[in-house]
Every structure is written in structure tokens, then in C-alpha cells.
Amino acid sequence: MPASAAETKSLTPAQFIATLEEPRKSEIKKIDKLIRQTMPDLKPVLVGNMLGYGPFRYRYKTGREGDMCDICLCSKKNYISLHVFGADKYKKKLPKADIGVACIRFKKLDDLDLEVLKEILRGAPQIRDWIEKK
């Protein structure tokens, strides 16, 4: 796996996935495919050491601005994390996952109910509405 975001800067999402070691590579490939099938209009990009889907520029009413994606997928040392707005509403439906407000952490894809995951992914663009209110 690339050691830093600088090393991944010129890679495509597919090239980045190829740098991962098994069994994580296969898991990330499956999740990437699921995201692309569920949300085909979200452009895949590489954001540091994360795969991003649906990049956009945000600006709060306060003037603070930056770049963000509707969905991000990250391979960490001990888990996989999926960053998606509204994840916390699904804690009971994904009992094997550790879930925060906008993050789902899990060991392997088999720990998740794929239909629930698709439902979560479909709600991801709501982050843009939430930001507009800030």
C-alpha cells in the first residue's frame, strides 16, 4: 500500500486499489463495484489515501469552503471505513459495524447487509443539502 497521499496523487482509483494487499484488495474492489452500481452518477476519484465518489466544492454561509465527496471509502490497518452522511440512522440494521454520524467501520463486507448498505449509499447526496443550511 502507498505510504502517503503524495505517493497516490497520480494514481487512478483502479490503480490505487491494485496497490492494496489481499484480502483487503478484494474487499475494496467489491465495495467499489457496489458503490459504482448503486450510484452510477457519482464520479470516482482518489482523495489522498481514500476513494471518493461524487466530488464537489462546498461553501458554508460563514465563508468556509473546501472540497468533499458524497461518499469516501478508506482501507485502514484494522478495518474498512465508509464515510457517508446519515450512517448513524442504520446502527440497528448493521450490528456488526461500528457506526458514527457519517462513518461505518467494519472488518469485511460480509459483516454488512448489502441491501441496507445500498439504502445508505442512495442517501449520500443529502450531505449537500445539509451543507447548504450551514
Structural domains of the chain, count: 1
Question: What is the per-residue pLDDT across 44-65, written as a single tens digit (0 to 9) for each?
Answer: 999 888 999 999 888 888 888 8
Exposed/middle/buried for residue 85 (C-beta within 10 Å: 0-12, 13-18, 19+): buried
Question: What is the per-residue pLDDT across 77-92, written as a single tens digit (0 to 9) for each?
Answer: 999 999 998 889 999 9
d(CA 38, CA 32): 10
The average confidence (pLDDT) of the chain is 87
CATH number for the domain including 66? 3.90.1150.200
Residue 107 exposure: Cα atoms within 13 Å on the Cβ side: 3
Structural domain harbouring 69: 5-133
Question: What is the per-residue pLDDT across 93-102, written as a single tens digit (0 to 9) for each?
Answer: 999 999 998 8
Residue 48 exposure: Cα atoms within 13 Å on the Cβ side: 10
